[in-house]
Amino acid sequence: MTTRWRLRPFDAGLVDELSRSAHVPPLIAQLLLNRGVADAPGVTNFFDARLNGLHDPGTLPGVVEAADRIVAAIRNRRKIVIYGDYDVDGVCGTSILWACLKLAGAEDVEYYIPHRVEEGYGVNAEAIRKLVTERRAELIITVDCGISAVAEARLARELGVELIITDHHTIGADLPGADVLVHPGLDGSAYPFKELCGCGVAFKLAWQVCKGFGDGKRASPHLRDFLVQSIGLVAMATIADIMPIKGENRILVRHGLASLADSARPGLRALLTSAGCLGGRGLNTGTISFKVAPRINAAGRLERAMQAVEMLTTEDQGRAEELAQALDLCNSQRQEVERKIVDEAHEMIAAQGGLKDRGAIVLGREGWHPGVIGIVASRLVDTYHRPTIVVALNEHQGQGSARSITGFNLYNAIHACAGGLTSFGGHAAAAGLKIPRAHFDTFAESFDLHCRGVLSAEQLQKSIWIDAEVPLGVLTLKVVEAIDALEPHGVGNPKPLLVANNVRVVAEPKIVGERKNHIQVRFCQGETTLKAIAWNMAERGKVLAPGKLCSIAFHPSINEWNGRREVQLELKDFQLVEEEVHAQSA
């Protein structure tokens, strides 16, 4: 599938004005304008991202009442159970809240993570019943789940257990009748930032609880230190849950990454060591997304999420290392299972005639592991650029994970085809569902037809957004260092993508990497020559012969090796000049 290059529109006058008023290079001004930062004070706030810019947790709907109930439960020595989700967001949020309550003096507090295969996502009735009857729970607090648990909240009330629901997922037509709901998107919410992850919501609740053990406005010193250290887990969850890295999230991720790098917690150090991320240049959103988060997610995908929470909360260094090694093995197993299912999915699509005029991809097969189908769906979206649902089927039902393309609300699309589904939930970019096996074919056809009817031709074409066209000579170390200061990157603040036209290939490209799937190539333009690395482009890059003239789309970066620092381009895409394809203005 060819990729359309789309150049973001810009106003040269506004770029010049911001560059002068904020004292930044014109290219940096253009990148900031692309990200909605339009004046000098906004530039200062963007780069500073100070912790005192976080919003008071007391303004988050439900937090004050929830914290008061938790403080009372701790003081009255009641049994508390934290009910979390099995992904990075839920595991990190559960870890923060459990550790907070223990530090605040809770004598009887446990955590519970449902079994992904046997129980599925979210709050389930059987678990609620067991927590009350077998573990004698008197207060249950959910993390990253529960906003759609209407029947389960009713059961909790019947069983006489107090229920606090904290969540951030899309709110449905009916709200659960819990004792307290904590959610930034509740009707009437005055909370300034609606895009916290589930762990972020749990962190705000923990913050308010800590205030309850301080002077009511501030946490006591030891609890304040705990909160500052916990921001690293919030950062990890925010990145892993693909939340926008803007506003409050930018502050949390910026300071959280620094906190992770300096963390003295045994579990975090063991996790980062196993991922090869302890020390070196430091952590960023990419290393969290591709090296750290998958290890925690693998635990949940292969039924060991409780171990992930134990690893993040233990004070025993030996136990932390043992658990980190177990999660590393889990991740390797997950990768093997994932590769097998991806290969089978490609074969199924080819057998069905390929992409053709599909509006969506909906695949299901018996024997697929429900723990990895979300990753498989993401891989298929990357390849085919269609909303994708992958379903693990058994004799009677299926469990599915869905992923979207940019700009398409997946939750709304599933809602439009929800007749016959057992359940579903999620948000615009990702969702999950349960479906009777007998209904699978009908749903697959219905979802594909719906997507065909609402997706525009422009949405169906894979595209990349170019921030700016630059000559290679502009990319000095000083300028690229200024670009690096825009980190952390993610949704809402993407890694800057630039284009250079009419650059020439210098010398024969080199195939590199253990699997020989990457290439190194040098490009020159005028008197400037820069090295580029093209990940997973070894096959396609064979056309980049010496002397070829190209247009290249790339991320500028700084490569450090043996004490030497130089500008390097991370190639995202290229077009030979004879193909006459350049970035198109939007």
Residue 530: name the closest of 568, 484, 480 by CA.
Answer: 568
Last residue in a domain, options 217, 234, 257: 217
Position 576 in a domain: yes
The residue-averaged pLDDT of 27-32 equals 96
Position 402 in a domain: yes
> pLDDT digits over 526-538, tens only?
999 999 999 989 9
Q: Could you tell me if 121 and 70 lie in one domain?
A: yes
What percent of the chain is modeled with pLDDT above 70? 97
CA distance 280 to 299: 26
CA distance 310 to 320: 8
CATH number at residue 389: 3.10.310.30
Residue partners of 536: CB distance under 8 A and separation at least 6 = 517, 518
Last residue in a domain, options 180, 195, 217: 217
Give pLDDT, residue 302. 61
The residue-averaged pLDDT of 373-389 equals 94
Give pLDDT, residue 115. 83
Q: Kindly report the pTM of this predicted structure.
A: 0.86
402: its two tokens: 């869905």
Q: How far is CA 200 from CA 90, 262, 378, in A?
A: 10, 20, 24
> pLDDT digits over 168-211, tens only?
998 988 999 999 999 999 998 989 999 999 999 999 999 999 99
What dihedral do alpha carbons 56, 174, 155, 431 form, nearest 10°?
Answer: -80
Give pLDDT, residue 279. 66
CA distance 286 to 432: 25
481: its two tokens: 């260092």
Q: Could you tell me if 408 and 508 lie in one domain?
A: no
pLDDT band at 580 (very low <50, low <70, confident <90, very high): very low
Give pLDDT, residue 219. 83
CA distance 230 to 93: 10
Q: Could you tell me if 60 and 204 lie in one domain?
A: yes
The residue-averaged pLDDT of 377-395 equals 94
> pLDDT digits over 226-270, tens only?
999 999 999 999 999 989 999 999 999 999 999 998 888 999 999
Question: b or e along 213-235 (b: 16 or more beta carbons within 10 Å of the residue's beta carbon)?
Answer: beeeeebeeebeebbebbbbbbb
Q: Could you tell me if 445 and 470 lie in one domain?
A: no
pLDDT over 50 at 458, yes or no = yes
CA 158, 162, 166, 171 dihedral sign is positive
Position 69 in a domain: yes
Q: Which of 403 and 560 is assigned the larger pLDDT?
A: 403
pLDDT over 70 at 317, yes or no = yes
Q: Which of 578 and 389 is assigned the larger pLDDT?
A: 389
Mean pLDDT of the chain: 92
CA distance 241 to 196: 10
Position 159 in a domain: yes
CATH number at residue 209: 3.90.1640.30
Give pLDDT, residue 305. 84
CATH number at residue 518: 2.40.50.460
73: its two tokens: 């439960």
CA distance 271 to 330: 13
Question: What is the arrangement of strands in the sheet containing 397-403, beginning at the earlier edge strand?
Answer: 361-366, 388-393, 397-403, 430-436, 423-426
pLDDT over 70 at 586, yes or no = no
Position 275 in a domain: no
Q: Could you tell me if 434 and 537 lie in one domain?
A: no
pLDDT band at 558 (very low <50, low <70, confident <90, very high): very high
CA distance 228 to 221: 11
Q: Could you tell me if 189 and 95 lie in one domain?
A: yes
Q: Which of 278 and 393 is assigned the larger pLDDT?
A: 393
The residue-averaged pLDDT of 348-354 equals 95
Give pLDDT, residue 301. 66
If one counts the domains in the chain, the total is: 3
Give pLDDT, residue 217. 78
What domain range is 572 assigned to?
464-585
Residue partners of 190: CB distance under 8 A and separation at least 6 = 59
Position 428 in a domain: yes
Last residue in a domain, options 194, 217, 240: 217
Q: Could you tell me if 190 and 72 lie in one domain?
A: yes
Q: Could you tell me if 390 and 539 lie in one domain?
A: no
Q: Could you tell me if 61 and 111 lie in one domain?
A: yes
> pLDDT digits over 264-306, tens only?
899 999 999 999 887 655 688 989 998 899 899 887 766 678 8
Give pLDDT, residue 282. 67
Residue partners of 93: CB distance under 8 A and separation at least 6 = 84, 85, 143, 144, 166, 197, 198, 199, 200, 201, 202, 203, 233, 237
According to the per-residue pLDDT averaged within each range, which of 84-88, 155-159, 336-340 is highest?
155-159
Q: Could you tell me if 399 and 497 lie in one domain?
A: no
Q: Could you tell me if 497 and 405 lie in one domain?
A: no
Position 237 in a domain: no
Position 409 in a domain: yes
Q: Could you tell me if 470 and 450 lie in one domain?
A: no
CA triple 12-13-19, angle to 5 deg:
90
